[in-house]
Amino acid sequence: MKITRIHDLYFKEFVSKNEISRIVKDLAVQVKNDLPENEVPLFIGILNGCFVFAADFVRVYKGDCEISFVKLASYEGTSSTDKVKKLIGVNEDLEGRTVVILEDVIDTGNTLQEIYEIFKSKNLKELKIATLFFKPDVYRKELPINYVGKSIPDSFIVGYGLDYNGYGRNLPAVYQLTTQPKMKNIVLFGPPGAGKGTQATILKEKYNLVHISTGDVFRYNIKNETELGVLAKKYIDAGELVPDEVTISMLKDEVEKNVGVDGFIFDGFPRTESQAIALEEFLAEKGEGINGMVALEVHEDLLVERILERGKTSGRSDDTDEEKIRNRFNEYNTKTAVLKDFYDEKGNYHGVDGVGSIEDITERLSEIFDKL
Ligand code: AMP
């Protein structure tokens, strides 16, 4: 399923580019077939939504035609109570013409009715309506619609000229809103040794979230000598990242194991841009997303000290060997640090000073968690 984020919401593909193209062609053929042989119709597109449909429609219409666009605007009449609707853009002399109104989508039919009445008063030869999409469940008018490309249920659609808050008109396919996100999903971010694990253990209780640490899952698998553990061991021992496909599929399995939860704290994932994209897409398929990346910012020199200290008790070989530790930082700086920009561009990055007592840092993180 193709998922796309528009502004702050996720949408799934509803009518593909190819299907739209077939529908538009069919409509053009039907309209042409119903007109007298040499009739030159005037197509009138209702702005803004229909501009893409109208442009594609006239290019597959086989015959002479004219095209014009109108917009319905309301303005105050002479008396203050008097709201008048006016069509802007009709300059042609319409008397005796065959006019076909092109609409992108007809739902209640209110706008259409007003436009129809205005054209009706202009002594036309014939007035017809063609719409790309039609929502029969919400249509409230008697007006016959001569050509319907596709009848659709009453859901919010966007793309192919249709917008959400002004965005999405340029998408070549039509998308439908996925379900509203219900979970709180947070990426706890920071270099190795920043304290992600410690803080996640506290915050998961406080916010009733499931903590997924990819490092812990790998170590569990290594300990139990699973196939995954054997594969991951050589990378982890060298302080290198485990390949994306392995890590991504493991992460998905971990998420799937937890049905109906309030959300997740992702600790140690994503660590590459492909992982970040995979995570977004995977959550979007469920109508969910990442509420934010919360990062513990700590200087590297301090981190090496911390990790060596931790190595005395953690039992992790990648915590005791300084060369491996340096390698982990190298991986972090070359592959993971860029994720700051990835989330920052979406306004989703929140940095916190990671130096101080555990309680103080929990406090700082909580301030952000509360807002996400
Ligand atoms: P951590 O416990 O988060 O420090 O992770 C320990 C090691 O597990 C890392 O150095 C990597 O080798 C591996 N690892 C953990 N998470 C990931 C990930 N998202 N992508 C690739 N490798 C990972």
Give me the residue spans of the domains in the chain: 3-178, 184-371
Are 276 and 339 spatial neighbours (Cβ–Cβ below 8 Å)? yes
Helix (H, G, I), strand (E, B) or coil at 45: strand
Class of domain 184-371: alpha beta
| 201-252 pLDDT per residue, tens | 999 999 999 999 999 999 999 999 999 999 999 999 999 999 999 999 999 9
Q: DSSP for 221-273?
A: HHHTT-HHHHHHHHHHHTTPPPPHHHHHHHHHHHHHTSTT-SEEEEES---SH
Residue 166 contacts by C-beta under 8 Å, 6 or more apart in sequence?
none
Whole-number Å distance between alpha carbons of 33 and 46 = 23
Ligand 1 centroid distance, CA of 318 (Å): 10
Backbone angles phi, psi at 308, to 5 degrees: -60, -40
pLDDT at position 93 is: 83
Per the listing, tokens 């491996």 go with 324
Q: First and final CA of the chain: distance in angstroms? A: 27
Nearest CA to ligand 1 atom 12: 236
Pair type for strands 157-158 and 3-6: unpaired
Cα 235 to Cα 232: distance, rounded to the nearest angstrom: 6
pLDDT at site 80: 44
Assess whether the region 3-178 and the region 184-371 belong to the same CATH fold: yes
Give the Cα separation of 43 and 45 in Å (integer): 6
Angle CA 109–112–115, to nearest 5: 155
The Cα–Cα gap between 346 and 292 comes to 9
Residues belonging to the chain: 372
| Strand, coil or helix: 176 | strand
Contacts of 202 (CB under 8 A, 6+ apart): 358, 362
Give the per-residue pLDDT at 180.
66
Predicted local confidence at residue 74, as pLDDT: 63
**CA angle (318, 323, 326) in 5-degree steps:** 85
Report pLDDT digits (tens) over 57-113: 999 999 999 999 998 876 554 444 555 667 788 777 899 999 999 999 999 998 889
Residue nearest atom 14 of ligand 1, based on CA coordinates: 215
The β-bridge partners of 213 are 267
Q: What number does CATH give the domain 3-178?
A: 3.40.50.2020
> 363: CA distance to ligand 1 center in Å?
26
* Alpha carbon distance 208, 203 (integer Å): 8
Radius of gyration of the chain (CA): 29
Give which of 281, 289, 273 is closest to 9, Cα–Cα: 289
Among 228, 251, 271, 304, which is best to mutate for testing ligand 1, by the most ligand atoms less than 8 A from CB?
Answer: 271
Q: In the structure encoding, which two tokens stand for residue 109, read together?
A: 């039919």
Give the residue numbers marked as catalytic.
Answer: 196, 271, 310, 316, 328
Task: Ligand 1, residue 193: give the atom nearest the CA.
Answer: 4
d(CA 241, ligand 1 centre) in Å: 6
Sign, CA torsion 296/297/302/305: positive
**Peptide bond connecting 48 to the previous residue in cis, omega within 30 degrees of 0:** yes
- Report the alpha-carbon distance of residue 42 to residue 58 in Å, rounded: 10
Cα separation of 20 and 223, whole Å? 53
The two three-digit tokens of residue 336, written as one number: 């993971």
Taking 50 as the pLDDT cut, the residues of the chain under it are: 77-80
Say how far apart CA 290 and CA 283 lie, in whole Å.
8
